Structures are given as C-alpha cells and as structure tokens.
Structure 1
Amino acid sequence: MIIDAHQHFWRKIHDEVDHSPGSRSRSYLPDHLNPILYERSINKTIAVQASPTLEENEFLLNIAKTRIEVIGVVGWVELDDPEALQTLAAYKEDPHFVGIRPMIQDLPSEWLLKSTVIHNLNKLADDGFPIDLQANPRHLPAIIKLLEKMPHLHCVIDHIAKPPIDTGQTEPWASHMRKIAEYPNTMCKVSGLVPEKVGARWTTKSIFPYVKLILDIFGPKRIMFGSDWPVCLKSASYQDVVQLFEDTVMSQLSESEKVDVYCNNAMRFYRLENRL
C-alpha cells in the first residue's frame, strides 16, 4: 500500500493568464491523476486544499465521496474566528474530512500566535486533530513558539518548510527544524521539493542534504511521502517526484521502514486505520 499524502485538485480559473503546467489556468482533477497513480502503483491519496475557502472543502469532499483512491481530505477553516470550532464540527461529521491546513504561507508568521488562533489550535490539540502547517522558513520561529505553548499539537510540516535549496544554504532552517522535531507529535512531509517555477532546473544531489537532515531528525516513523501534484508539474513530472523520493529517502530505509513511510505514518497521523 502506498499513500500519496499530499496532492491537490482544482478547476481552471478562466481569467488566469498563465497557461503553464501546474497553473490554475488548467483543471487538475481525478481523471487526470488516476492513470498516473495506476502507473506508479500508488493506491490512495490525501487531497489537500489549495484555496482558503469553505467552498474548497465541499469541492474536495464531493470528490472523495466518488473516488475510491481519495482516502481523505485536508480542508480549511478560518482559525482566527471565534466560531471556527463550530464550523469545523460540521465537517468532522464527514469521515473523509481528516485534517485542516491554515494557509500560513500567505500570512504573517505572527498570525499563528494570535490569541484566537492559539485558543482554537489548543482545543484541536486536545482532541489530537491533525493540522498541516504550510510553512516557509520564516514561519519556523513562530511554530517553535507555538509548540512551546502546546507541545501536544498534532501537526505536520508540509514540504519540509521549503528551505532555500537553490542557494545550498541550510541555516537557520536546519536548526529550527531540529527544534521542531524534538516535539514527538510533529511530523514532516517530504514533498514540494522541486522548484515552483516553470522549467527551473534541479538535481537530486542538491536536494539530498535537506532530505537527509529531515530523515535524521524526524526518523522513518515521522515522515510521509507527498507528490504535491499538480504544483510539482512546474518543474517535474509526477514520475520524477516519485523517483526523487525513492533516491533520497527510500534508498536509506529498511523494508519495514519503507512500509511506514509510504503508508503507516500517514494512516496513523490522519487516523485512517479504519478506512482501508
């Protein structure tokens, strides 16, 4: 069993002028992804929201209800809203709704430390509800402060927090990630490793040191595979991304560890054990 723990679907935006691969000017739907999954023997996926709207939740949940390969949806609610937990409660009634992702990539780092956000996250931490953190390196100090306040937060760092791979620089990203990895309820998605720029060049050699650090500090029971399709299409195919993961992660693991990384970790984090 292989689970792609991070991919997206969307319908094209007609006024978008960028028609390049991975852009919002093209639709990327299950009928586009399913043949690729079959080719790579990938059995299930987690569909992650790509827009901070409740309509996006409905869009993804409707897909999950009709596509057996989509085992879960990571949706969105406005955590800086006193009514966020009530809004979330209705979605949690759907077994496909397995987590939420505040889109902090587009928000100030300090947003995570706002009183309403902390209140809501603390309630979700008490319930062990999964949170995806769409972090860039600038967010990591705030995430550390957040974890100091609620070390029981059940969260995963998406895309290894997008370190500056193109420059070869590792600090302060590496030190911050080491600190985050000290909290046992945190995990990390080895995803989003290729550049989000059309035609940008990348090499396995340049990416490997960043992935190696993540594997070293989180260990094989706290990382997951994610394709970040179709965003990855800006500079790589789905097949390229899988091969990159095989070369940088799976080549370092035992057979039992491979099962954890490709399946068990996502099942445990998103509480999917009774869904298969």
Structure 2
Amino acid sequence: MKIDAHQHFWHFDPVRDAWITPSMEVIRRDFLPEDLLPVLRAAGIDGAISVQASQSELETEFLLGLAEGQDAIRGVVGWVDLRADNLRERLDYFRPNSKLRGFRHIVQAEPDDLFLLRTEFMDGVRLLEEYGYTYDILIYPNQLPVAREFVTRLPHQKFVVDHLAKPYIKQGNIEKWAHDMESLARRENVSCKVSGMVTEADWEQWTPEQLRPYLDVVFEAFGPDRVLFGSDWPVCLVASSYERWIQVLEAYMAPFTESEKARFWGDNTLRFYDIPA
C-alpha cells in the first residue's frame, strides 16, 4: 500500500495564508479532496495524511471534517495549543476522532530559536505521548541542534521531521545540515518525511541529481524503517508536478529491495501514525 505522508487542504485566504506569495500563484486557490483524489489515483497512491497549514483548532476541525467519509484520507495531523493550561481538556475533546493521529506546530516561524525547549511547550508535547499522538517537527536547518535536544528529552514520544528540515538545496549547502541530521537520526524515536525537497531547490531548474546527495544523507542516517514518502502537495506544485516527484523517488529507490520500497512508500507511514493497513 502506498501512502502520501504529507499533504494539505485549504480554502485560500490571502490574509491568513500570506506565506503563499504572488510568486506561488499556482497554489493561490482552494485545494480540497476533489482536487487531490484524482491526483492520487493517477499516481497509484492509495491514501494520504492531511497536515495542518494554519495554527487554529478551526483548522483541525476543518481537516477532520474533510476526512470524514473519505477513505483515502487515512489520517490527520492537526493543531492544538500545546502551551495551553487546558490542553488535557482539548485533547479529550478531539480524542473521539479516530482519524486524528498527531499534531504539529509551525516552529520554523517562531522567532525564539529555543522555542522547542520552552517548559510549557515540552510539557504539552509530553502529554501527547499519554494520548498516543505523534508530533511533526517543522523546522529550518539552523534549528536542528535544538530539535536534537528536544527529542532527547522526550525519548518515548514519536517524532517525524517534515521536509528533511528544509535543507538549503538551492544554495548547495549540505555539510552542516548533513551533520545535524545524522546527529538527530541517532535518536530512534525520530523518523523523517522525504517531502518538500523541490521547493527548497531552484523551482525552475532543479534536477534529480541535485537532490540525490540530500536523499543519500537521510536514507543512510534514518535507515529503511524511518523514512516516509510525502509530497507536500499542493505546495510542491510551485516547483514540480506530483507525477514528476514520484518519478524522481522511484528512480532513486530502484536499487532498494522490494521490502525496503514497501516500507518507504507506505508501511512506515502506517506504522508511525498507527493506522491499520
């Protein structure tokens, strides 16, 4: 079974979604299940994990509403205020939603480089373990050392790094990122989504050869059991079609065993998010 571990839905709002700049015109519109499902079918993908794109409980409710009755939406990664005094109450509120599998905070946008280590935030993430929820780590490369300390302090929580921590592919910078990713990968409670790469490269001129060194680092560091296929659709459309991204990964995975391919394309995602096959 093939599962896309990372995609988004939204009703485009130019104020709320100000991060979608005019240069990203192709995604300055609504994206809903009726847009995604034909794309998945054409690519031979059986389902997807829908991930929050804005930080509100309304976003979580929105995604859960879209997932209801849609077998292809296998799970939702939502948002809740992990620093809130009433966090347990909010988690209890969401708990009956079986498709809610985890949460994410857009840490890459936080001005405090030590945000992940704030006591109230760590206490909130620590509570996720009790409820069986995962946590997606969305950061930039400079935040990797703090992320390593963060996951070290929470050794029993399940973490996944989104988009390889957004390496500087366009600039060709790899050494520091590679060192920090290898260090993070030594924490076995951390997995990595192989997603979002094309938008970190030159949107018009990237090649598979430019991506390969970054893929090599992640596959070697995390191993075949902790890498998850993801598209970051529709954001990826600013630099690639869905089909082209699939083709890049299929070519890269060609030398791998059938078992390793199956784990990457879906089994690891189902296991990480604890979703029945």
Q: TM-score range by the shorter chain?
A: over 0.9
Task: Structure 1: give runs of 5+ residues left out of the alignment.
Answer: none
Alignment check: 8 A CA contact 2:169 2:200 kept: no
- Displacement after TM superposition at 1:170 (Å): 1.2
For 2:215, give the aligned amino acid. Answer: V
Q: Which runs of structure 2 are paired with 1:102-181 in the superposition (5 Å)? A: 102-107=105-110, 108-181=112-185
In the alignment, structure 1 residue 91 sits paired with structure 2 residue 94: yes
Q: Which runs of structure 2 are paired with 1:210-229 in the superposition (5 Å)? A: 210-229=214-233
Shifted more, 12-21 versus 162-171: the winner is 12-21
Aligned partner of residue 9 in structure 1, secondary structure:
coil
Aligned partner of residue 138 in structure 1, secondary structure:
helix
In structure 1, the partner of 2:56 is 53
List per-residue Cα deviations over 1:81-119 (Å, max 9, x = no partner): 222232122212200101101111211331111110111
Aligned partner of residue 229 in structure 1, secondary structure:
coil
In the alignment, structure 1 residue 74 sits paired with structure 2 residue 77: yes
**Cα distance change of structure 1 residues 112 and 22 upon mapping to structure 2, 3 Å threshold:** farther
TM-score (norm 2): 0.92
- Displacement after TM superposition at 1:124 (Å): 2.2
In structure 1, the partner of 2:239 is 235
- Displacement after TM superposition at 1:20 (Å): 4.1
Aligned partner of residue 101 in structure 1, secondary structure:
strand
Which of 246, 260, 264 pairs up with 1:261? 264
Aligned partner of residue 274 in structure 2, secondary structure:
coil
TM-score (norm 1): 0.93
**Cα distance change of structure 1 residues 194 and 19 upon mapping to structure 2, 3 Å threshold:** closer
The Cα RMSD (Å) is 1.8
Aligned partner of residue 49 in structure 2, secondary structure:
strand
Q: Distance in 2 between matches of 1:115 and 1:53?
A: 21
Alignment check: 8 A CA contact 1:192 1:227 kept: yes
Q: Distance in 2 between matches of 1:199 and 1:130?
A: 31
For 1:12, give the aligned amino acid. Answer: F
In structure 1, the partner of 2:255 is 252
In structure 1, the partner of 2:13 is 13
Which of 30, 42, 46 pairs up with 1:43? 46
Residue identity over aligned pairs, in percent, reads 36
Aligned partner of residue 172 in structure 1, secondary structure:
helix
In structure 2, the partner of 1:191 is 195
Alignment check: 8 A CA contact 2:105 2:138 kept: yes
**Cα distance change of structure 1 residues 11 and 40 upon mapping to structure 2, 3 Å threshold:** same
Q: Distance in 2 between matches of 1:94 and 1:212?
A: 37
Q: Distance in 1 between matches of 2:25 and 2:241?
A: 10
Give the length in aligned residue pairs: 272
Q: Distance in 2 between matches of 1:252 and 1:125?
A: 36
Q: Distance in 2 between matches of 1:144 and 1:199?
A: 30
Task: Structure 2: give runs of 5+ residues left out of the alignment.
Answer: none
- Displacement after TM superposition at 1:128 (Å): 4.6
- Displacement after TM superposition at 1:145 (Å): 1.3
For 2:107, give the aligned amino acid. Answer: I
For 2:240, give the aligned amino acid. Answer: A
Alignment check: 8 A CA contact 2:196 2:232 kept: yes
For 2:6, give the aligned amino acid. Answer: H
**Cα distance change of structure 1 residues 197 and 11 upon mapping to structure 2, 3 Å threshold:** farther
Aligned partner of residue 32 in structure 1, secondary structure:
helix
Aligned partner of residue 168 in structure 1, secondary structure:
coil
Q: Distance in 2 between matches of 1:70 and 1:98?
A: 12
Shifted more, 117-126 versus 132-141: the winner is 117-126
Alignment check: 8 A CA contact 1:7 1:46 kept: yes
